[in-house]
Structure 1
Amino acid sequence: MSYSRFAIYFIPPEGALADFGAAWLGWDVVTGRDVVQPSVHGLRDITMTPMKYGFHGTLKPPFRPAPGRSFAELERAVADLAAMVKPAVSDGLELTTLGGFLALTPSGDVSGVRRVAQACVRELDPFRGPASAAELDRRRAAGLTARQDALLMQWGYPYVMEEFRFHLTLSGRLPTHDIARWRDVASSHLPDLPKPFVIDQIALCGERGDGRFELIHRHALTG
């Protein structure tokens, strides 16, 4: 399988939360297969955007490979990084609204989560191809701050480093009047959320020819 882009994600381990996420979005990023969604009117519509990525928390945003760097080199670099980074622990996960979409976000002290994400962004950046002018324009159309624009130029994405907020996405952007209803629907389907919430592994994922992301390899954080 050849991949057009790669990303570093946190993918929940096998269990109730992972099963919920795969079913809710209709795509299992671990197996690379469609999953039957719950019979909820409109669910397919609100999950069309996050579906292609699968249920995950982004640590290093999707990137095209840098010229001259091989897939094998990237795989080794991700494994080496995981061996240097310590796991992160926060109080738990909670259902929140973030920028108009539903997501699960960590509660309590998130400095460890941010530390893991910053290491992924920084240490693997040599494998990231430069952003195109069209990509830069698309990001800037969202209305970036000066700092976010600087991060975009340095790291290829504006919401990294101190602008980063870890989240497991559950929907696309929702109309304001629909947010409360969809929060109730999501709450009714959620399993018990982990307490504490632990990130003790990272996942190298790739974008397939059909635009869907799938897991390539997980690496335990053993630093």
Structure 2
Amino acid sequence: MRYALYFTPPEHDPLSRAAAHWLGRDPFDGSALPTPEVEGFDAAEMADVTAEPRRYGFHATLKPPFALAAGRSEGELVDALGRFCGQAPTFTIPSAVIGQLGHFFALVPEQPFTPLQAFAAEIVEVFEPYRAPLTDADMARRKPETLSETERANLVRWGYPYVMDEFRFHMTLTGPVKAERATAMRDLLNSRFADFVGRPLSISGLALYVEKERGMPFTIHSWLPLSGA
């Protein structure tokens, strides 16, 4: 069993619904949804390009997947999440856009946003006592030899390379997209998510996602509003 703390909008938020139908799966109840029919991409290509984010469900990573530390229970983690959300104020990213990170696409802030960086760092630190240390196999999966010095230090200290100063908020919408398909995919995403592109994105709650066995789809155990929500 692994847990993760992710941001996602509430279950019935229009963005949650749009993303669930895009990815073909609803992480709130685990239900599969039909692969979207879109111009220029056949069903097989769409299923393939959304396969990786489909398993995780629509989200932005804040505390990456972790096993519980020895002596900690799920109930304690849920209680800690409730306490944190009860004192953390809601805030809004001024504008979200479709961005390309390497070979994949995601909904990202249009500009760096300091309150978001601070919020993510606080979550990593506050919930660190609930994280079991990485195993040697976990460390190897991250290919530390390919990471920068700072990323390797984060991996050792926090169990994940892309936290603290290396954190980049992103709500993943595709897996790797071939270079020759990238422009078409960007245009498609800007069209599909036109209602959300260039608009504010409210950070109004936190979700506890659960992976019952490694490699299984993540589902939402709890979604809790922040105190200002």
Question: What TM-score does the superposition give when structure 1 sets the normalisation length?
Answer: 0.93
State whether residues 90 and 109 of structure 1, in contact with CA within 8 Å, keep that contact through their aligned partners in structure 2: no
Unaligned runs of at least 5 residues, structure 2: none
Tell me, what secondary structure is at the counterpart of 1:59? Answer: strand
TM-superposition CA deviations, 1:200-219 (whole Å, max 9, x none): 21111111347111111112
CA change 1:35–1:163 in 2 (3 A) is same
User: The residue matched to 2:96 in structure 1 has which SS?
Assistant: strand
Give the distance between the partners of 2:77 and 2:14, measured in 1 at CA: 31
Q: Provide the identity percentage.
A: 36
Task: Work out which of the residue numbers 121, 126, 130 in structure 2 matches 1:123.
Answer: 126
- Name the structure 1 match of 2:195: 192
Please give the per-residue CA displacement for 1:52-87, whole angstroms capped at 9, x wherever unaligned: 111111111111111110111000011111123222
Which of 79, 99, 102 matches 2:102?
A: 99
Q: Deviations over 1:26-56 (max 9, x none)?
A: 1101121111121241110011111111111
Q: Answer whether contact 1:148 1:158 (CA < 8 A) is retained.
A: yes
RMSD over equivalenced CA pairs, Å: 1.6
- Is it true that 1:60 corresponds to 2:63 in the alignment? yes
Name the residue aligned to 1:221: 226
User: For 1:107 and 1:218, how far apart are their aligned partners in 2?
Assistant: 26
Counterparts of residues 1-223 of structure 1 (less than 5 Å): 4-13=1-10, 14-40=12-38, 41=42, 42-140=45-143, 143-193=146-196, 195-209=199-213, 211-222=216-227
TM-score by length of 2: 0.90
1:142: Cα distance to partner? Answer: 6.8
Q: Work out whether residues 22 and 55 of structure 1, in 8 Å CA contact, stay in contact via their aligned partners in 2.
A: yes
| Aligned amino acid, residue 83 of structure 1 | G
Amino acid paired to 1:52: R
Residue 163 (structure 1) shift: 0.2
Distance in 2, Cα, partners of 1:191 & 1:175 = 23
How many Å separate the matches in 2 of 1:112 and 1:104?
18
CA contact (8 A) 1:200 1:221 kept: yes
